[in-house]
Structure 1
Amino acid sequence: MNLRMTTMFAASGLIALGACTDPSTNATGMSRTQQGALAGAAVGAVLGGTRDDDKNNQGRDAARGAILGAAAGAIAGNMLDRQAQALKQSVSSNVQVVNHGSYLQVVLPEGILFATDSAAVSGPAQSDLYAVARNLNQYPNSRIEVVGHTDNTGAAAYNQDLSQRRAQSVAGILTAAGVAPGRVVAIGRGESQPVASNGTASGRAQNRRVEILIRPTG
């Protein structure tokens, strides 16, 4: 099998995965393990074929790359599946855990974290953050981005500063609970990344949030 044919098979696999996607739920009907295996196989096939210096056995090298890529992708997907499930079981129902396939997103609404215009984390919310920290320590091979967001009420500069301070407060609790500081970065996005309309009270409430993004590193 030559490189072109192997690459075509890999691409076909990814197209088939996209075709299986349910646009209403963004669900493919496949587990993250299966999705990771397919994506890893496609990438591994291409890299395996194109990184062969002597060009003599591209088909063999592409196939080998596909096998190794599938194994790595399946392992990463399975790890995220298990970590996401453990997170959902350990935090309160107000905390949303989303598995995006390549990373996990933990969404904490402002209402459970902070008083209005405050960056001090509430007592009940600290329990959830300690649960997240325990999970992060159980799955240490990741980097953590703590991202603060606000609505558009008030001055943009003030909102940017508030979102940064809130992100730092959440990050500080994670590191105080034992997460290595080198894994964690705090980022303020202010009002720049709304997830709902700022034209309604419910929309503004959704926009006031802190997200913990968990990105695997290996």
Structure 2
Amino acid sequence: MGMIRNTALAAAGILALSACTTNPYTGERQASKAATYGGGAAAVCALVGAIESGKRARNAALGCGIVGAGVGAYMDVQEAKLREQLQGTGVQVVREGDNLRLVMPGNITFETDAYNLRSSFYPVLNSVGEVLAKYADTTLRVSGHTDSTGSRSYNQTLSKQRAGSVADYLATRGVDRSRMMVEGLGPDQPIADNASTAGRSQNRRVELYILPKSA
């Protein structure tokens, strides 16, 4: 068993080195994107069975399978878990290539004309935070939006405050605040007609973008 372990570790070291590239500007060795998500990671993970045993090995192999399959598969798993957790909550999960976008309508997220989160929305954000904390190899952009009613400066401030409230709460659920960028876009990116009550309701929202980290 010791010989198998040593051989596996040595092979893993060779594979890790081969998956690195040299930065032409700094001369430093660094992991390539392929090492993080691609074949190099899959090959290293394939050695887990030689080191671990039983249930622990199976769990590790499942995790490695996700990593080795690529960025798309990593995001697929998050998408599936988010859709499962958010079913029936009113939060939309939108897939855009390898990115995910959560659309949180203002009427279920905040009190009217305020940026305080509704207490009834806490369980929803708890579910979102659980997934985001587990799949940490992403960056997050939290964008607040309003309808066109009222002054631009007021809407700009309110939209950023609402986005900040979502980000701050997620941070209390184990999501690293440094992963999150907060922005207020006011009425500048409507998704419906502001001339109607229904349209304005759709435009009042917070969107959470889940983006794979760059190499």
Which TM bucket (shorter chain)?
0.5 to 0.7
Cα drift, residue 184 of structure 1: 1.0
Instruction: Determine if contact 1:142/1:183 at 8 Å carries over to the other structure.
Output: yes
Q: 1:129 maps to which residue?
A: 125
* SS of the residue 2:193 aligns to: coil
The runs of at least 4 aligned residues of structure 1 exceeding 6 Å deviation read none
Counterparts of 2:209 and 2:164, CA distance in 1: 14
Q: 1:113 maps to which residue?
A: 109
**Does residue 153 of structure 2 align to residue 188 of structure 1?**
no
Cα drift, residue 136 of structure 1: 0.4
Instruction: Determine if contact 1:150/1:191 at 8 Å carries over to the other structure.
Output: yes
**Does residue 162 of structure 2 align to residue 166 of structure 1?**
yes
Q: 2:32 maps to which residue?
A: none
Q: 1:87 maps to which residue?
A: 82
Instruction: Please tell me the residue identity of whatever aligns with 2:159.
Output: S
Question: Over residues 9-65 of structure 1, what are the superposed CA-to-partner deviations in whole Å (9 max), with x where a residue is unaligned?
Answer: xxxxxxxxxxxxxxxxxxxxxxxxxxxxxxxxxxxxxxxxxxxxxxxxxxxxxxxxx
Counterparts of 1:162 and 1:133, CA distance in 2: 23
Cα drift, residue 92 of structure 1: 4.3
**Does residue 210 of structure 2 align to residue 210 of structure 1?**
no
Q: 1:38 maps to which residue?
A: none
Cα drift, residue 102 of structure 1: 2.2
2:73 to 69, 78, 85: 78
* SS of the residue 1:163 aligns to: helix
* SS of the residue 2:70 aligns to: helix
Question: Over residues 74-102 of structure 1, what are the superposed CA-to-partner deviations in whole Å (9 max), with x where a residue is unaligned?
Answer: 51111111111100111242010011112
Q: 2:196 maps to which residue?
A: 200
Cα drift, residue 117 of structure 1: 0.8
* SS of the residue 1:99 aligns to: strand
Counterparts of 2:83 and 2:106, CA distance in 1: 19
Counterparts of 1:163 and 1:73, CA distance in 2: 39
Counterparts of 1:116 and 1:80, CA distance in 2: 34
Cα drift, residue 168 of structure 1: 0.5
Instruction: Tell me the number of residue pairs that the alignment of Structure 1 and Structure 2 aligns.
Output: 152
Q: 2:144 maps to which residue?
A: 148
Unaligned segments of structure 2, at least 5 residues: 1-37, 43-66
Cα 1:152–1:73 change in 2 (3 A) is: farther
TM-score (norm 1): 0.66
TM-score (norm 2): 0.66
Cα drift, residue 146 of structure 1: 0.8
Counterparts of 1:186 and 1:126, CA distance in 2: 19
Q: 1:49 maps to which residue?
A: none
Instruction: Determine if contact 1:80/1:101 at 8 Å carries over to the other structure.
Output: no
Cα 1:73–1:211 change in 2 (3 A) is: farther
Cα 1:157–1:73 change in 2 (3 A) is: farther
Unaligned segments of structure 1, at least 5 residues: 1-66
